[in-house]
Amino acid sequence: MMIRAAKHDDIPRLVELGQLLHATSSYASVGFNPEKVSTLLGQLIDGLGVVFIAEVGGEVIGGFAGAITEQWFSDDLIAFDYSLFIEPTKRQGLTALKLILAFQNWAKAKGAKEIRMGITTGMNVEGTSRLYKHMGFNYVGPLFQMEVSHGN
């Protein structure tokens, strides 16, 4: 397996993987706009953030999209994830670990004071939490979600 920075040619496959993740996650009831996702990935690749991919035998099997910004209350830089996504049949093994390590190294090189990552998909929360803790992340609290009814 190889981890590398994504290129624009990788975007269609990344959008495909994003659709798979979306359809099976806590976001499934919310719309998915492939063009919007494609645009954001292109912007991240062009320097707004970063996208790393995991490749096996020339096939993209996963990716990590993230960025860095100033804290809203401080000049300190915080790195954050947009998404960690791996093809469902390839989720066993070291793929997630290697993608996160690539992001950690990128965030450090960019001067981030901290990295914040969440688990908002509702998928494999316990296993992902163990991985994050194993990698040195600290649990800082839960995330809550509520669907808003518009009387339809």
As for how many domains the chain has, the answer is 1
In a domain, 143, yes or no: no
In a domain, 141, yes or no: no
In a domain, 145, yes or no: no
Residue 71 belongs to what domain range?
2-134
- Tens-digit pLDDT profile for residues 56-89: 999 999 999 999 999 999 999 999 999 999 998 8
- Tens-digit pLDDT profile for residues 95-133: 999 999 999 999 999 999 999 999 999 888 998 999 999
Confidence bin at 90 (pLDDT 50/70/90)? confident
Pairing assessment for the beta strands 77-86 and 59-70 based on DSSP bridges: antiparallel
Q: How far is CA 70 from the centre of its chain?
A: 19
In a domain, 142, yes or no: no
- Cα 38 to Cα 19: distance, rounded to the nearest angstrom: 11
Give me the CATH number covering residue 87.
Answer: 3.40.630.30
Contacts of 105 (CB under 8 A, 6+ apart): none
In a domain, 151, yes or no: no
Backbone conformation region of residue 12, classed left if phi is above 0, alpha if psi is from -120 to 50, else beta: alpha
Confidence (pTM): 0.93
- Cα 13 to Cα 19: distance, rounded to the nearest angstrom: 10
